[in-house]
Structures are given as C-alpha cells and as structure tokens.
Amino acid sequence: MRAILLLTAALSLTGCAKTVYRTQLEIYCPQIKQYDERFNTKLADELESLPATATAIDEAVKNYIYLRDRIRRCNEEKDKI
C-alpha cells in the first residue's frame, strides 16, 4: 500500500516538472495625439492668460503631461522587447 502511495506521489510530482514556455508578450500603448505648432502656441497663450486662482486647470495640465510622458516610456519599452 505504501509503495502505491509513493508511486502515485512520484507520478503526480513529475507533472510539476514540465518545462514552462513563455508566451509572446504583447504590449499595447495608447496613441498620443499630435498637436501642430499653431495649436500648441494657442494653448500656451490661453494657459498663461488664466488667473492665478485657476489652479485646477494647472493641475489637470500637469497630469496630462505626466500621462503623455508615461505613454512615451511605454512605447520606448515596447520597442525594446
């Protein structure tokens, strides 16, 4: 009986020793909208004309810049793989 249990355990463990193959990793990064120079100038002018109390817009723009930087890094890392 003990031999059967040992044999069963040994056979069960051999299933755990199989080689695991790494699947192809696919990375999806969102596209970054490209703005032309005219739009960027207009945006900068509008942001500079905001009153000093418009801190929410300033924070949202900083978060947008951070997000775009992360997407660029995502694309750079994706190209390395």
pLDDT digits (tens, 9 = 90+) for 22-36: 667 777 899 999 999
> Whose structure tokens read 């994706």?
78
pLDDT band, very low/low/confident/very high, at 45 (cuts 50, 70, 90): very high
**Beta strand segments in 3-74, E:** none
For the chain, give every domain's residue range: 24-80
DSSP helix/strand/coil, 24: coil
Its pTM stands at 0.58
- CA distances 11 to 1, 18, 20, Å, are 15, 12, 18
